[in-house]
Amino acid sequence: MNLSRPKSLLIGASGQIGSQMLRALGRERCLVTSRKSSSDTELVLDLATLATLADVEHIFDGYSIDAIYCLAGLTNVECCEDVPELAHNTNCRGPELLAQFAKARNLPLVYFSTEYIFDGNHGPYNEEDTANPLNVYGKSKWEGERAVLAACSRAVILRTTVVYGQDFGEKNYIYSLMRSLGAGKPMRVPEDQISTPTYNRDLAKAAIALVERGATGIFHVCGPERMDRLEFARSVAAFLGLDVNLLQGLPTSALGQKAPRPLSAGLSIAKLTRLHPDLTMRTASEGLADCHSDLEDFLRSCATLT
C-alpha cells in the first residue's frame, strides 16, 4: 500500500488511549496496527514478533509516516511475572527497534511508560527521581525507556498511571467496578496503593500536543490528584450512583497478588505544568463529568443483561 499523505502510526490503537487518540487526531490521519489484520487499512504488527526481527524497515515500505505512538505493551502485571522474556520483547526490545526506525526516518516517537518503574516508597515522583521497579512489568518498561531514549533523539517518554475514562474495549478499572457494583456484587479494592488517576482523553491530547511542539525527553502526564485506589473507587461509585458499601478496602498484602506493587506512588506533573501550562489535566471529578454519559450508557447495557 502506498500512502502519499503522512499519517501518525499508532501501535496499539485498539486500546483505550489509542481510541482516544484516533478520536483526537481523526481516523483519516492515522495508520493503525493490529496483531491480526482485520481490514486493508490496518498494518499487521506485533511488538513481541517485531523484537525477533533483524530489520524492521521493510514493514513500513510504502507508508508515509509523520510520527509514531507506541501505546501497545504487555501491561498485565501478573502475566509479566510468568513470562519475563515476552514482557522484555514486548515492552523493551520491540519499542527499541521502532525507535531505531524512527531515528532512521527522523521521526518523533512517543513511548508510553508507567509509574511502576518506581518502588513506591516516596511518591509522588518527578522525572528525575531514581527508578527502582519492584516487578517484571516495571523493569521491562524501565528498560524500554532507556532503550528508546538511546536509540532516538526525538523520543518522548510519557509516564502515566491508573488511566480511566471511556474505553471501547470495556477493560479499564472503572468498567470492572461498574460490572461488579452494578450487579450488586462486592469488589475488593487495595486501600494502600496511592496513585494519580489519569483521564484518558487528557492523556491522548497531551501526547499529541507534545509531538506537535517538538518536545523530547521524559514527561509525567497524569491527573493532578493523589489518592488511594479505594478513595478513587468510592468517588467513581458515588458519582455513578452505585452502592459504595459494596467496596471492600483491603491491604495489598491480603490480595494474593504475585507481583509486588508500588504503594506510596503517583507522579508529579510539575514539569508538564511549567513547560506547557495550557495542557490541563483534569481532576477525577472533572474527568468523570466529561465521560459521564458514556459510562451511564454502559451501566444501562449491563442492566439489560441482568
Identify the residue whose cell numbers are 461509585. Answer: 237
Please tell me which residue in 69, 137, 164, 199 is annotated as part of the active site: 137
Residue 93 DSSP code: I
Q: Are 91 and 74 in contact (CB under 8 A)?
A: yes
The full DSSP string for 211-264 is HHTT--EEEE---S--EEHHHHHHHHHHHHT--GGGEEEE-GGGTT-SS---SB
Measured between alpha carbons, how far is 234 from 237 in angstroms, rounded to an integer? 5
Q: Which residues of 124-157 are buried (b: 16+ CB within 10 A; e: fewer)?
A: bbebeeebebbbbbbbbbbbbbebbbebbebbbb
137 a catalytic residue: yes
Give the residue from 199, 211, 167 showing the smallest Cα distance to 69: 211
Element (H, E) at 55: none
**Which active-site residues does the annotation give?**
137
